[in-house]
Amino acid sequence: MYLPVSVREKFLKYYNLYKGKIFTHIYYRVNFNRALAEDLVSEIFIKAYENFDKFEEDRSENAFSKWIFTITHNHLANHYRDSKSRVDLDEVDNYVSQNGEEEIINDLENSLLYGEVVQELVKLPDNQQELLIMRYINGLSYKKIGDIVDKEEGAVRVAVHRAVKNLYSKISSAKTSKK
């Protein structure tokens, strides 16, 4: 697909601005599978690039944020619907051989920092996980989240509040059961 140089430069600016945010969002959603997160980010930005001509050029950065997170939301939904929810041992072996022991240890140490919260976060329903990630990891406003998931801002506030209460309850229960 050919886009004029000025449009490609604008896309590249947005890409550089949002690739980290999209990666972080996806990385949490795929349970810290770096390779899968990278693949999904690539697919999302390819899709965005292919449709960038449909994105009105005079739109603001906020409009791009809503647009790219909507693509991300839909792409993740398609990925989960199309994929099988099981661990492929070949993928684990490939990950170990590609990344080396030191990087894996660093990844594990970083993951342990979030340990209890993430352990309970992944037990939440998908919609609650996604809301909490968008709000607290990606730092999106309730309004932006509402635009992405097609809900009113007030409904998003309530849903996020319920997700936080549910997460807190799960963390408290886990701590109690460890004693």
- For 88, half-sphere exposure in the C-beta direction (CA atoms, 13 angstrom radius) is 9
pLDDT on residue 78: 85
> How many other C-beta atoms lie within 10 A of the C-beta of residue 162?
12
Q: Show Cβ contacts of residue 34 under 8 Å, excluding neighbours closer than 6 positions.
A: 27, 95, 99, 107
Task: Count other Cβ atoms within 10 Å, centred on residue 36.
Answer: 18
Asked if residue 79 has pLDDT above 60, the reply is: yes
pLDDT tens sequence across 29-53: 887 889 999 999 999 999 999 998 8
1-86: CATH architecture: Orthogonal Bundle (1.10)
Predicted local distance difference test score (pLDDT) of residue 144: 92
List the chain domain ranges: 1-86
What does the pLDDT read at residue 16? 95
CA 104 to chain centre: 21
pLDDT digits (tens, 9 = 90+) for 101-147: 566 666 655 554 456 677 778 788 989 998 988 888 888 999 999 99
Q: Which of residues 34 and 2 earns the better pLDDT score? A: 34
